[in-house]
Amino acid sequence: MDPLALFTLQVLNALSLSALLFFIALGLTLIFGIMRVVNFAHGAVFMLGAYCGVAAQTATGSFAASLLAAPLAGAALGLAFERSALSRLYAREHSAFLLVTFGLALALTEAIRLIWGADARQTELPAVLAGIVFVMDEPFPVYRLLLIGAGGLCWLLCWLGLQRTRLGLLLRAASQNPTMTAALGNDVGRVRAMVFALACALAALGGALAAPLLSASLGLGSNVIIDAFVIVMIGGMGSFIGTVAGSLLVGFAQTFGNFYVPELALGMTYALMITVLVLRPGGLFGRPE
């Protein structure tokens, strides 16, 4: 294989992986940035998205329906969970959040096992997405291009939303100083609920997008949540631009690591994290806390 073609393919592979990771890491960092909550259930929500997506596609026959159903289910779950459980805990210390979100992760996994069983679930991609394009004479799946596009679009919309809308302003304000934001007459509780629902919707959408590559299985959640935490640590807890950078770094490290040094690839991600944290303890774009 031509070295340039090889490199181009690997860059595209890395971008598509980064895009998938971005969906889950972005929600994690939003929740942390605005609510100061580390959401251990985020991987389980990603997994729920994959199952909901597969179920929706099986029921309707439409892949687009799965990309609609999954974030809706994620948002509904996030909203219900924030209102019923998290909202009672903001006054308490942080360990309460760890326990409650970890509990949600366990409960969600068991609920999925009860509803869909222990076997993996999957559907086939529609023909138009199952095709290939030739990149320098090498076949590359159309679906991975769609992932890259979806990741880019999500980044653009979130950036515009945060920087250019009134809601974004409110979110940034609530992140920097919730007491002051509330004192100015804003309902911080509502902001938190919205953020949590949005973050869960993003994770679930990521799960639905990942399903055609991985199929919906019970191990899905615990697997991606570790990568997502690493990304958030690298980028800086709560930093939007840091999450973008972290997703790209981890995506490229894993893709190129798996190619050149597969035995060390898992370690490379952590080596990257340790290097970043030693040089910048708050992450690339984070504030030291």
Partner 1 sequence: MNITRRPALAALLAAPALSGVSRAQGQPLKLGVPTAMTGTWAALGAQVVRSCRLWAKTVNAEGGLLGRPVEFLFEDTQGVPANCLRKAQEMVERDRVNILLGLMASSEALAVMPKLADWNALFISSVNGAGSITAEAWVPNAFRANTSGPMGARALALWLRNSPQTNFFSLSLDYAWGRSSVETFEGLLTGIGKRSIGSVFAPVGTRDYSSFITRIRQANPQALYIALTGDDGTAFLRQAAQYRLFERMPVVTETVDMLFTRPAGDAAIGLVGGSRYSFAYDHPANNAFVARFRAEYNELPDTYDGEQWQALEVLRAAVLKAGATDTPSVVAALRDLQLNSIKGPLKIRGCDGQAEQQGFVVRVARREGFPVPAPEVIATFTAAEVTPACRASNFS
Residues that bind partner 1 (CB under 8 A): 1, 6, 9-10, 13, 16-17, 20, 118-125, 130, 132, 138-141, 143-144, 210, 212-215, 217, 219-220, 223-224, 254-259, 262-263, 265-266
Task: Give 18 or 239: the residue with its C-beta nearer to partner 1.
Answer: 18
Residue 8 beta carbon to partner 1: minimum distance, rounded to whole angstroms:
11
One DSSP character per residue, 119-134 reads S-B--PPPHHHH-EEE
Q: What letter would DSSP give residue 139?
A: E
Task: Check residue 285 and report its DSSP letter.
Answer: S
Query: Which residue, 11 or 89, is less far from partner 1 as judged by CB?
Result: 11
* DSSP helix/strand/coil, 182: helix
Instruction: Output 89 or 268, the one with its CB closest to partner 1.
Output: 268
CB of 9 to partner 1, least distance (A): 6
Helix (H) or strand (E) holding 141: strand 138-141
Quote the least distance from Cβ 27 to partner 1, whole Å: 18
Looking at residue 216, what DSSP letter applies? B
Nearer to partner 1, 198 or 209 (CB): 209
Distance CA 57, CA 117 (A): 18
The encoded tokens of residue 235 equal 């980028």
| Residue 177 CB, nearest approach to partner 1 (Å) | 39
Nearest to 61 by CA among 105, 127, 4, 159: 127
Pick between residue 91 and residue 134 the one whose CB is nearest to partner 1: 134
Residue 182 or 214: the one with the smaller Cβ distance to partner 1 is 214
Residue type at 86 in one-letter notation: L
Residue 23 tokens read as 């969906």
Alpha-carbon distance of 144 to 213, in angstroms, equals 9
CB 259 to partner 1: min, Å: 4
Instruction: Give 77-123 as a DSSP string.
Output: HHHHHHHHTGGGTTTS-THHHHHHHHHHHHHHHHHHHHHH-SS-B--
* Cβ at position 249, least distance to partner 1 in Å: 15
CB of 2 to partner 1, least distance (A): 10
Which residue reads 């992450």 in tokens? 283
- C-alpha distances in Å from residue 5, one per residue of 2, 176, 177: 5, 46, 49
Smallest distance, Å, CB 93 to partner 1? Answer: 33
Q: Which of 23/143 has CB closer to partner 1? A: 143
75: left (phi over 0), alpha (psi -120 to 50) or beta: alpha
Question: With respect to partner 1, which residue has the nearer C-beta, 114 or 118?
Answer: 118
